[in-house]
Structure 1
Amino acid sequence: MVAFSWDKTTIKTDNGEEKEGIAPVIISASRSTDIPAWHAKWFINRLNKGYVKWINPFNQQPQYVSFDKTRAVVFWSKNPEPLIPYLDEVKERGINYYFQFTVNDYEDEKLEPNVPSLEERIATFKELSNRIGKEKVIWRFDPLILTDNITVEKLLEKIYRVGCEIHDYTEKLVISFADIGIYTKVQRNLKKAGIGYREFREESMKKIAEGIQEINKEWGLEVSTCAEKVDLSKYNIEHNKCIDDDLMVKIFNKDKELMEFLGAEPVNNLMGEKKYVLKKGKNLKDKGQRLACGCIVSKDIGQYNTCRHLCVYCYANYSKNTVESNMRRYDKNYESILRD
């Protein structure tokens, strides 16, 4: 099978140089940092310029990314409020979007020191949902983490407390279980913060799933896991696709270019109404993600060590000092998040 690749294009940079780049149809903004919270103006500036310079975190080489063919953006955020004033600009460009909006409740434990208060985040969630539609605002309680002070029962209480506030403003809940053991830097940061953690075992995962299933009888949400191998289908919890072609076909089906890229075709239902469905045979699974990840291909434009939330469990930041040092190079008018 031929590996997937985005169309190539020539990009004229801010200083007038011509660079070879790619023209992705779907942008992820971003798994690597919270662009809506900390880099909203930078994102809009780059959208207006037509491209971004992305820095590969493994070899530090630049890649130029054009927005010319972009039909959809998936935003990931714990606080999208700074981006909300710019959403009309995104819409005016004919670009579709939806949000993966993480609303956790770790205030007492101080695991997310620089996110707004839970009350503020809930208000933002409702505001965003009312503005763009609840089908475009996916609630993530992510990651679920067990510590000396956070038990399975306490996690379920936290999920219930948040969900009672926002379940009418979304259609879906996505969860994941913290994998602390595979990230040495996360282990170090938790230890430095004096937080004793415990890894999830299948038994505790199933207790969480059983509890969510019971809670969800009140809410009626679709519930899925993000990049988890464990099978929780008996609890009505499925494996998720965060970059989701099925969702895009459902909510963006008026965009013919996007439907063509996804491999969706119009069919008439029994009522004679036209509906798009994904045809079999077009495999867009993102092979650059973990094996259990269900996402389709996208181009992420974020940069590690640039998120000021400083969540103690985060894999995308090396340390507080690294983030603070990097952010002294931040320039909302530059072609990448950090100046060279």
Structure 2
Amino acid sequence: MIISASRRTDIPAFYTPWFMNRVRAGFVDAINPFNRKQVSRISLRPEDVDCIVFWTKNAAPMLPHLEELRAKYPFYFQFTITPYGHDVEPGLPDKREVIRTFQQMSQQLGKARMVWRYDPILLNDHYTIERHLHDFAVMLEMLAPYTDRCVISFLDLYRKTERNTKPLALRPLGIPEMSALAEGFARLAKDSGVTLQSCSEAIDLAAYGIEHGACIDKERIERVIGAPIDVKKDPTQRDVCHCMKSVDIGQYDTCLHRCRYCYANTNGRMAEASFADHHSDATILSGTLRGDETITARKVTHLKIQPTAESQMDSLF
């Protein structure tokens, strides 16, 4: 079983004490986003978890716990670092501090566990193509010794993101703009040791050496755990998403970064209310169970392919 922690919120930044309590308890409850009365009880016992994929913009609160986690689980981080200021990402610390955290984690965990995300890419009068290329080059120089992968994507405007990004006066991001950015990024990264991939993009950037990637990445998971796995593409994600099937333990409307482009928050007020209703000793991320829920144990599917007696014999000769 692969745990996603989480597409819906930033658990390392805001909910590390809660997460570590759930790790020590051996399970976590996750509420159905569309029906609060449906709750999945998900095992976090090390023997049931093949890998954990963390998603974060600031993993500093998790630094003291990395060795405890590494002793129990294989895991890696999808770590977003963009050039945006507080006009776009008002809840984030100074990016130099965030980069230092990334570097420190890589020194402790190794490159394979640290994926840099430069996304989503948006354009306006301040964040131009030229500005992105300049900032990407600066960040690449600082991060290339600490990662082997950079994931890019272009902003998708959902109804809520259109509303929340209105003050930014965004420019359209068409194929010419995407191609110019992709060509520039690829040129800058060519000899850096960092491979570029796109995330959930319909546009084909292979001409620039940028392949379609997956955040829940079968190859990376196999690399981290040191064994092959049997896992299928996640059918609940969009067609352009190449992620493998996973179990998400987060909740929407709980992230305090307040990024204007965020699809997981309706607005900042709802996130603040959810955070105020968070209890680090609760089984769910925000709120408490009321007693009228149906709690169903999530079936554990072990993904690691165990070596056969024949393959073990072959390895002797």
TM tier relative to shorter chain: 0.7 to 0.9
* Greater relative contact order, per chain length (Cα 8 Å cut-off, separation 6+): 2
8 Å Cα contact 1:285/1:296 also seen in 2: yes
Matched ranges for 1:106-125 at <5 A: 106-107=84-85, 110-125=87-102
Mapped partners of 2:50, 2:191: distance in 1: 36
The root-mean-square deviation of aligned C-alpha atoms, in Å, is 1.3
Question: Could you list the runs of 4 or more consecutive aligned residues of structure 1 that deviate by over 6 angstroms after TM superposition?
Answer: none
Mapped partners of 1:53, 1:213: distance in 2: 42
Q: CA deviation at 1:199?
A: 3.1
> For 2:153, what is the secondary structure of its paired residue?
strand
Alignment partner of 2:255 out of 307, 310, 314: 307
8 Å Cα contact 2:75/2:224 also seen in 1: no
Mapped partners of 1:250, 1:189: distance in 2: 38
Alignment partner of 2:49 out of 52, 58, 70: 70
Alignment partner of 2:264 out of 316, 321, 336: 316
> For 1:198, what is the secondary structure of its paired residue?
coil
Matched ranges for 1:26-41 at <5 A: 26-41=2-17
1:236 counterpart letter in structure 2: G
> For 2:282, what is the secondary structure of its paired residue?
coil
1:242 aligns with 215
TM-score by length of 2: 0.87
Mapped partners of 1:86, 1:39: distance in 2: 13
Matched ranges for 1:326-337 at <5 A: 326-337=274-285
Q: State whether structure 2 residue 193 is matched by structure 1 residue 220.
A: yes
Alignment partner of 2:165 out of 181, 190, 205: 190
8 Å Cα contact 1:75/1:99 also seen in 2: yes
1:187 counterpart letter in structure 2: E
2:119 counterpart letter in structure 1: D
Mapped partners of 2:43, 2:63: distance in 1: 23
Mapped partners of 1:212, 1:140: distance in 2: 13
Q: CA deviation at 1:251?
A: 2.8
Mapped partners of 1:201, 1:85: distance in 2: 43
Q: Which has the higher strand share?
A: 1
> For 1:153, what is the secondary structure of its paired residue?
helix
> For 1:223, what is the secondary structure of its paired residue?
strand
2:83 aligns with 105
Mapped partners of 2:84, 2:132: distance in 1: 9
1:293 counterpart letter in structure 2: C
Mapped partners of 1:58, 1:198: distance in 2: 33
8 Å Cα contact 2:74/2:224 also seen in 1: no
8 Å Cα contact 1:101/1:138 also seen in 2: yes
Matched ranges for 1:86-235 at <5 A: 86-93=65-72, 95-107=73-85, 110-180=87-157, 183-191=158-166, 194-235=167-208
Q: CA deviation at 1:90?
A: 1.4
Q: CA deviation at 1:301?
A: 0.5
> For 1:230, what is the secondary structure of its paired residue?
coil
Gaps of 5+ in 1: 1-24, 264-282
> For 1:63, what is the secondary structure of its paired residue?
strand
Q: CA deviation at 1:185?
A: 1.2
8 Å Cα contact 1:103/1:139 also seen in 2: yes
1:215 counterpart letter in structure 2: L
Q: CA deviation at 1:166?
A: 0.9
2:238 counterpart letter in structure 1: R
1:286 aligns with 234
Mapped partners of 1:171, 1:41: distance in 2: 29
Of all paired residues, the percent bearing the same amino acid is 39
8 Å Cα contact 2:119/2:151 also seen in 1: yes
Q: CA deviation at 1:250?
A: 2.1
> For 1:250, what is the secondary structure of its paired residue?
helix
Q: State whether structure 2 residue 21 is matched by structure 1 residue 45.
A: yes
Q: Deviations over 1:32-86 (max 9, x none)?
A: 0000000011111001111111011122222211123112100010001101211
8 Å Cα contact 1:178/1:199 also seen in 2: no
2:51 counterpart letter in structure 1: A
Q: Deviations over 1:127-167 (max 9, x none)?
A: 00000001210110010111232221211112112111111
> For 2:190, what is the secondary structure of its paired residue?
helix
Mapped partners of 2:19, 2:190: distance in 1: 39
1:133 counterpart letter in structure 2: G
Mapped partners of 2:19, 2:164: distance in 1: 29
Mapped partners of 2:265, 2:180: distance in 1: 30
8 Å Cα contact 1:179/1:199 also seen in 2: no
> For 1:41, what is the secondary structure of its paired residue?
helix
